[in-house]
Amino acid sequence: MKFDIVQVGEAVLRRPARTLSTAEILGRPIQDLIAAMRDTMRAAPGVGLAAPQIGLPLQIAVIEDQPGYIEKLPPEQAAERQRRAVPFHVVINPKLLIEDAHPAEFFEGCLSLPGFTAIVPRATRVRVECLNEKAEPVVITAEGWYARILQHEIDHLRGILYIDRMRSRSFSTQENHAQYWKDKSAAEFWRQVPPDSRDV
């Protein structure tokens, strides 16, 4: 089963999601929901999907960064982003702790804002305390692109979109990004498009 992905402008994307109880997590409806979220994420395709993106204000996200996605990148880009494969897993009721607040800047997109991208500063290392699909406590320590994915998905559970954190002058269509910026770093972008006071 696959869901339609809710698009920006829907109120559910702007409201904090509610936590789930152990009984809810272990119940058949949530277990079926997790499987459907996995299928929806893979079909999109994407590296993460939060329940609000399918219209449900619940603190659940699924994450998976497949090797095939990374193999499509030039090796130097994968290295710069510290991007490595991440197996499928579920994050429920997460608490995010920033372990290295020094931001890294990369273009980022979202399945709920298709066709657009922007530079988003994100912490380079995070710790997430959460429950898995078995309602077991899990601690995740992540860096690089995996840390970015976690921050992006946990933002969804708080009613936050990447456009709330983006450096606004970098906002671009995916088409123009592919034509002009795909192979350039954020530093190269800023050399060609000087930031204004809101982007400093």
Domains and CATH numbers, the chain: 11-192 (3.90.45.10)
Run of H or E residues at 64: strand 60-65
Confidence check: pLDDT of 197 > 70: no
Identify the pLDDT of residue 198: 62
Pairing of strands 116-131, 137-143: antiparallel
Confidence check: pLDDT of 200 > 60: no
Is this model's pTM higher than 0.85 or not? yes
Confidence check: pLDDT of 91 > 60: yes
Identify the pLDDT of residue 100: 86
Identify the pLDDT of residue 86: 98
> DSSP labels for 167-186?
-GGG-EEHHHIIIIITTS-H
Question: Catalytic positions, please?
Answer: 153
Q: Mean pLDDT, to the nearest integer, of 28-55?
A: 98
